[in-house]
Amino acid sequence: MVAAAEIERILQDASLATRAPVAPADSPLRILTSRPEGDAPAASGRFSRENWDGAIADLPNYLYDAATPRVLATPKYSAYIKIAEGCDHPCGFCIIPQLRGKFRSRRFESVIAEAEGLAQSGVREITLIGQDTTCYGEDFGLKDGLALLLEKLAGIDELQWVRFLYAYPNKITQRLLDTIAAHEKICSYVDVPLQHASAAVLKRMKRGGSAEIFLRTIEKMRKTIPGVTLRTSFIVGFPGESEKDFEDLCGFVGEAEFDWMGTFSYSDQEGAAAFSLDEKVSPREIERRRKHLMQIQKQISRRRKKNLRGQEFDVVLEGPSEESDLLLEGRSAMHAPEIDGKLYIAEVPEALIPQAGEFYRCQVTETHDYDLVARIV
């Protein structure tokens, strides 16, 4: 962790860096007009709108701040905060850079002010989002900006949980992991969309990496953050994905044993680099591969969920279950809003009248493939 005085100094410098043409002489920040990762794609036409037929030809450059009016579309106790816009990564299956433009971070004080305002209004859970939250602050020369931001948010008294989505695999630093491990309020939860595990497919995707590299990263995460919850997602059927590539992916999933996993079927997206690639996989084969991979994950999930029986967790109550009037639903820190399995509450102490948005200590009494059943203790 960084000393409080040093955090305040870096925050002050970050504020100056995003507003002034030069930073103080002794500042650790460098004033950048863009990230180096975005310059090469820009030169190659990645952000070009020469043939754009939308409402305007210019790329978006707007960033909302803490003063921007917003409607809380989530339950009153939980909120998302977007900390950055755009993306500089060259992923061949994605058109977000063409839609959103280059990566650009919001100012530190803007994010903190918004979080403090939400906390004062009753929000107890903050989820930081962006196309790549792990790059936060790099565009104004700040190293480990996400770790610093998380550490600052963990100091807001009213907040109970802070989490972030999504982590780019080669941007997960030791400092970030240490920060998660050091603060109880920062959920021990990392969502890192790996997209594939075959080095050949990752190269065609313009992602880089390999199963061996990813396994080392996963080992480091689990070693640094005991009990960490890991989520990932994969694309099956990417152009050129051979049967061996798919088998390598299946083997990797079996070895990595993720807590949560999503699998997406590749589909052509006009404007993405992959649109013009050859060796397309048939839709029927893509669907076979998707089902097979999810069947592997179901067995892993069933086994990992079974190990949770008898354990106790803090749970935020979300309200009555849609499955039955006899059940309540909630989420533990291992459940990100909207995307992970269900946690059903089947038993409540007689004297207790549960309230949505309140946190209760619960014990897991029953487990299924993806869902948990618990009682309030």
Tokens 């931001």 -> residue: 149
Say if residues 348 and 321 touch (Cβ distance below 8 Å).
Answer: no
Residue 195, C-beta contacts closer than 8 angstroms, at least 6 positions apart: 91, 93, 202, 205, 207, 233, 234, 235
- pLDDT reading at 29 higher than 50: no
pLDDT band at 323 (very low <50, low <70, confident <90, very high): confident
C-alpha dist (Å) from residue 356 to 124, 218, 226, 360: 12, 34, 29, 10
Return the pLDDT at 165.
95
Average pLDDT over residues 101-124: 94
Amino acid code (one letter) for 132: D
Lowest pLDDT segment from 11-15, 197-201, 249-253, 354-358 = 11-15
Token pair 């991979």: residue? 293
| Distance from the first to the final alpha carbon of the chain | 34
Each residue's pLDDT tens digit, 269-289: 988 999 999 999 999 999 999
For the beta carbon of residue 129, count every other beta carbon within 10 angstroms: 14
Whole-model pTM?
0.85
Contact 167, 156 (CB under 8 A): no
**Distance in angstroms (rounded) separating the CA atoms of residues 180 and 33:** 30
- How many whole angstroms from its chain centre is CA 201? 22
Whole-angstrom distance, CA of residue 98 vs CA of residue 375: 48
- Summarize the confidence of residues 122-131 as an average pLDDT: 96
Do the bridges between strand 229-236 and strand 189-191 make them parallel or antiparallel, or are there none, so unpaired?
parallel
Residue 24 has pLDDT above 50, yes or no: no
